């Protein structure tokens, strides 16, 4: 355990040895890392704990810079624990390298089944008992972390004093298909709004698409850049500055008659799963404001969970947000998208045979 200082904060690193399979506590162990953050002018002894569950899945907790973003508000009342959920960050990773030891895809799948929300919650419970001596703590879940928080309230409500959820509340009746049907229309609306703001991007996008239709293009990492992959850059429209970033990306994509190296490297950075093998996503602009606002509301307006075991602050933030944003640019969001993808592939194959 090591401690160090940043501007306005004291940070302490914690590493916990926990079982891969919580039903077999004496079996294979993994490491789970967590970073404690306390305001430099506060005594940690008198502060309650706030566990932060990161969005994703597949991303480690944020790497703080002093009291940046939502932490500034949280550190007023809490000592914060930034948990690298199992398989992410400095916790034992779940990557193609670590999965190579399993002989079959079925064995890999069985192993990865131990990296879901239920296991994350059971990790958190062991960590809570080690740090708090058994006292319940507060939990703040962002995006996928909100889903983990709901799972926490179901599996171990006795461990939660209060729960804050921002942008990650599962529906009671809606299915994934229902969400994607809504998403498809919202993506279309955001795309039209983008082209209305940057009308020159229409021609640029079409020019890139024509080039991809007629040429085999490979990204620096070796993956093919297809029209469908290019379309998936629309996921950038999910953030407040994403439309501007998308415009800058496609405003000058060519070097002569070919796509430039700078463009291809920038596209790969947007499409790569390397930073989070379990998912692809990014920090949403405005997320810090949402988290801080949820904390500012505090217990006021919270709903008492039947049977006790904690409070849940249910916050649906940013009403205009694209649902299912990690796939927001994917044209296969519903059946009509599937048809379009198949048609495009068939046409491309036909041209190549010709």
Q: Return the SS3 of 278.
A: coil
Tracing tokens 């890392």 back to the chain, one arrives at 33
Q: Return the SS3 of 133.
A: coil
Q: What pTM value is reported for the model?
A: 0.71
Query: Beta strand 29-39 with 79-83: parallel, antiparallel or unpaired?
Result: antiparallel
Q: Return the SS3 of 179.
A: helix
Q: What Cα–Cα distance (Å) separates residue 47 from each residue in 16, 20, 43, 44, 66? A: 22, 31, 7, 5, 18
pLDDT at 315: 32
pLDDT at 290: 52
Pick the CATH number of 2-170+286-315 from 3.40.390.10, 3.40.640.10, 3.40.50.12270, 3.50.30.50: 3.40.50.12270
Q: Return the SS3 of 143.
A: coil
Q: Is the dihedral of CA 274, 230, 250, 264 positive or negative?
A: positive
List where CATH 3.40.50.12270 sits in the chain: 2-170+286-315
pLDDT at 216: 97
Nearest-angstrom CA–CA distance, 90 and 17? 13
Nearest-angstrom CA–CA distance, 111 and 25? 15
Nearest-angstrom CA–CA distance, 320 and 190? 10
The alpha carbon of 308 is separated from its chain's Cα centroid by a whole number of angstroms, namely 30
Nearest-angstrom CA–CA distance, 89 and 95? 11
Do 311 and 164 touch, CB atoms closer than 8 A?
no
Nearest-angstrom CA–CA distance, 127 and 36? 12
Do 51 and 153 touch, CB atoms closer than 8 A?
no
Q: What Cα–Cα distance (Å) separates residue 50 from each residue in 75, 82, 153, 311, 346? A: 9, 9, 15, 14, 52
Tens-digit pLDDT string for the chain (354 aa): 899 999 999 999 999 999 999 999 999 999 999 999 999 998 777 899 999 999 988 989 999 999 999 999 999 999 999 999 999 999 999 998 999 999 899 999 999 999 999 999 999 999 999 999 999 999 999 999 999 999 999 999 999 999 999 988 888 888 889 988 998 899 899 999 999 999 999 999 999 999 999 999 999 999 999 999 999 999 999 888 999 999 999 999 999 999 999 999 999 999 987 766 655 333 433 455 555 555 555 543 333 333 333 333 333 222 222 222 333 333 333 333 334 334 445 555 555 555
């Amino acid at each position: 355990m090591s401690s160090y200082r940043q501007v306005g904060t004291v940070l302490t690193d914690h590493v916990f040895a926990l079982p891969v399979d919580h039903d077999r506590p004496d079996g294979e162990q993994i490491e789970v890392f967590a970073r404690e953050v306390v305001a430099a002018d506060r005594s940690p002894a008198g502060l309650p704990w706030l566990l932060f569950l990161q969005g994703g899945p597949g991303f480690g907790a944020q790497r703080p810079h002093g009291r940046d973003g939502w932490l500034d508000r949280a550190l007023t009342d809490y000592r914060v624990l930034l948990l690298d959920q199992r398989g992410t960050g400095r916790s034992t990773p779940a990557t193609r390298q670590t999965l190579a030891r399993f002989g079959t895809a079925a064995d890999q799948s069985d192993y990865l089944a131990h990296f879901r929300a239920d296991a994350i919650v059971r990790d958190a419970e062991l960590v809570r008992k080690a740090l708090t001596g058994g006292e319940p703590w507060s939990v703040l879940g962002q995006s996928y972390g909100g889903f983990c928080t709901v799972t926490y309230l179901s599996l171990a409500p006795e461990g939660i004093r209060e729960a804050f959820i921002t942008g990650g509340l599962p529906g009671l009746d809606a299915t994934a298909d229902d969400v994607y049907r809504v998403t498809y229309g919202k993506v279309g609306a955001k795309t039209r709004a983008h082209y209305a703001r940057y009308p020159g991007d229409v021609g640029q996008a079409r020019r890139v698409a024509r080039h991809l239709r007629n040429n085999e293009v490979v990204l620096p990492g070796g993956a093919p850049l297809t029209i469908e992959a290019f379309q998936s850059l629309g996921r950038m429209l999910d953030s407040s500055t994403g439309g501007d970033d998308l415009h800058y990306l496609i405003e000058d994509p060519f070097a002569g008659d070919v796509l430039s190296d700078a463009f291809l490297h920038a596209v790969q950075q947007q499409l790569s799963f390397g930073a989070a093998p379990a998912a692809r996503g990014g920090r949403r602009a405005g997320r810090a404001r949402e988290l801080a606002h949820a904390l500012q509301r505090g217990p006021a307006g919270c709903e008492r969970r039947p049977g006790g075991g904690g409070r849940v602050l249910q916050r649906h933030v940013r009403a205009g947000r694209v649902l299912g944003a990690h796939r927001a640019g994917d044209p296969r969001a519903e059946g009509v998208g599937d048809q379009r993808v198949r048609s495009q592939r068939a046409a491309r194959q036909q041209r190549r045979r010709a």
